[in-house]
Amino acid sequence: MALAEIVVALDGEIARLRQVRALLTDSNDHTATSRGPRKKHVMSAEARKRIGDAQRKRWANWKKVAK
């Protein structure tokens, strides 16, 4: 394959990849902006305590089984 043929093939491939990239970025931008910003999840102190107690109980059981 001659050098000129390789350059032509590469130019064709680059053009095709640019088209694919344009299609992907257009569709991603459209869906991302339509959702808006994410909301922060707030957990109450009571819920954090319940989750922490349950996790400590799981750790205790796991350590008990390991011995």
Give pLDDT tens digits for 23-52.
888 765 555 556 677 888 899 999 999 999
> What is the total count of domains within the chain?
1
**pTM for this prediction:** 0.40
Domain annotation covers residue 6:
yes
- Return the structure tokens found at 60: 């205790």
Range of the domain at 28: 1-33
Domain annotation covers residue 5:
yes
- Identify the weakest region by mean pLDDT among 7-11, 14-18, 34-38: 34-38
Domain annotation covers residue 66:
no
Could you tell me where the DSSP H helices lie in 1-67? Answer: 3-35, 45-66
C-alpha to C-alpha distance for 61 and 37, rounded to whole angstroms: 40
